[in-house]
Each structure stands twice: as C-alpha cells, then as structure tokens.
Structure 1
C-alpha cells in the first residue's frame, strides 16, 4: 500500500514557449493525444505573498492515467512561471494532485515542511504550488475544482479510444 499523502500523482506540468509546437511534438514524436486547449485562462491570487493575476493558455492530454499539462504564460506578471529576472521558465515545472479540500492538503504539506509559493484561483479552480528548498526546480501542486476528477476520467477514456482524428479541441476560458 502506498504511503503517499495525496494518493497517486494526477498531472505532470510543463512550461512551453510555443503551445502549438509543443503539442505537435507530443503528438508526432510520442503519440500523445487528443489535446484540449484552454485559451485565456486567468488565475488571481498570491505569489510569494504579493497579489498577482496570471494569464495563460493551457493544453491537456493524457498518457495512461497521468494528465500532461502544457502551459504557455501570456502575461508578464511575477509568478511561479517566470524566473527572478522575469523570463519564462521552460521545461518540467510541477507534479500535481487533485484534492477534495485544498486547505487540508496545504496544511498537511506545510506541516511536512513544504512552503506555499503560489495560491490562486478563478471561478472554477483553485491551485496551490508548494516548494521544498531541498528539491529545487520542481513544484508540488494541489488542485481543487468542481468536476475535476470527472474531467480527468473523461480525458483518460477519450485517450484510450482515440483513433488519431480530431487531435485538438479548443475552449476559450474567457467566454
């Protein structure tokens, strides 16, 4: 039996420079798809204690039971998606778990020594990124959102039956 506090990892997140090119690479080189792109996603919250609004485009697909998230940040706000000089960070960024109660999850993780770097949300989702000084370069994310587990299960099922057609669906989150 696993001793993982939050259960199995649900997501691996990557920061990318060009969302479409990254999706094409994942599709063509690794066979991962279909993809759902969420355009104009906005998160409001605190980054290292300071108020922030971050905007981004996000693409989701699945490999087995793991959600692959590609993030292209679309504004210049200080955030966990940029380095100290303000340049976009690229590459693997975080591992994430969907939780039923984000406050309980954050309390457990901070009780184990992790520090909250980012706590933000929008009308459908709340996220918190935590960091461990002993594990630089990757963040630990907890996600709470209505229907989040169902979204993941639907995506896993769609991947299992995907025949390679209709590889990309786009949703404008601002609508």
Structure 2
C-alpha cells in the first residue's frame, strides 16, 4: 500500500509483440480473457509537456484483483513507453493506482514534487491518466487513472470476466 497513492490496481507491461505477450499470459500463466484494443484512440496525449501522437495497442486482463495491462507502441513518437524500450527494457514499466477523485490525487502528487512524464485522456473528461516520472528503477513508474467514468465500469467488467473465465475466447477485441 502506497501512503501517497493507495493500493496498486494494475501492473503495466510494455512489450514489443502484444499478440505473443497475450499468448504467453494465456498459455503459460493461465491469465485471461484479454480485452484487446488494437488502435487506442486518445482524446489527447502529452509527453514531457509536448503534444505527442502516440499510436498504441493495449490488452487488459485480471489476475484476481490485479489488472494486467500490455502495451505495444506502434510508432516512433516520443513517449515513456518508447523511452523504456529504447533503454533496452521490456516488461513491467508501471504500476497504476485508480481513483474516482482524480484531480485531488493529481494535485497532491504534484504538491509532493512528482513530475509528469506523460499524460492523456481517453473517452472524455473522466478518462484522464498521468504517468509520474519515477522510473529511475525499471518497473516503478507511477500511473494514476481516473476511474469515475466509463473506464471504471469497463475495468469492473474485465475483472468479472476473469472470475468466470473457462479458457474460451482468450482474446476479445474492443474498439475505443
């Protein structure tokens, strides 16, 4: 439990081949089903304060209460995902903390000296997310995500799907 952010709700893995990563999680680890968005549409995205047109695919599944996110960047636009891969890493890049009081947590983190590495929005005002630049050690970037809107409902559906999953249909495609 983080004294600043609360409990970790998601581990985010940056991968070079998302299809192979999903297959590994299903076949080797038995985790699924995966909800896959091949072309994520962001309302806006900024990397280190500059607008960035990042193209990415994501896949989400749960292992118990912990959500697993797989991210494959599909272009060379600047992002913390690209930074991570360019540094020779692949795998756990961030931990995500979810909140229904996003702006309060965002402002608190900034007041404590955290700096934004990248941030964006998906699906309207209640779909914001921010990655704080805490990645001096691989796998420790902190993301906060607003779950007060549709994203929270989607995440709850993914968790419920994992609880009842019988191994059928391991990859389910979604659109944003």
Task: Calculate the TM-score normalised by the size of structure 1.
Answer: 0.87
Structure 1 unaligned residues grouped into runs of 5+: none
Matched, 1:147 2:150: yes
- Within a 5 Å distance, the mapping from 1:18-167 to structure 2 comes to 18-43=17-42, 44-83=44-83, 89-124=89-124, 125-132=127-134, 135-137=136-138, 138-145=140-147, 146-167=149-170
**SS in structure 2 of the partner of residue 158 of structure 1:** helix
**SS in structure 2 of the partner of residue 24 of structure 1:** helix
Decide whether the 8 Å contact of 1:33 with 1:159 is kept in 2.
yes
Decide whether the 8 Å contact of 1:13 with 1:68 is kept in 2.
yes
Using the TM superposition, give the Cα deviation of residue 98 of structure 1 relative to its aligned residue in structure 2, in angstroms.
1.6
Q: Distance in 2 between matches of 1:85 and 1:13?
A: 13
Find the counterpart in structure 1 of residue 12 from structure 2.
13
Decide whether the 8 Å contact of 1:76 with 1:86 is kept in 2.
no
Relative to 1, partners in 2 of residues 1:14 and 1:84: Cα closer, same or farther, differing over 3 Å? closer
**SS in structure 2 of the partner of residue 36 of structure 1:** strand
- C-alpha offsets along residues 115-141 of structure 1, whole Å, 9 cap, x if unaligned? 1111212334221000237x4322100
Higher helix share: 2
- When structure 1 is superposed on structure 2, of 18-27 and 35-44 the one drifting more is 35-44
Structure 2 unaligned residues grouped into runs of 5+: none
Decide whether the 8 Å contact of 2:59 with 2:69 is kept in 1.
yes
Q: CA RMSD for the aligned pairs?
A: 2.2
Decide whether the 8 Å contact of 1:42 with 1:53 is kept in 2.
no
**SS in structure 1 of the partner of residue 23 of structure 2:** helix
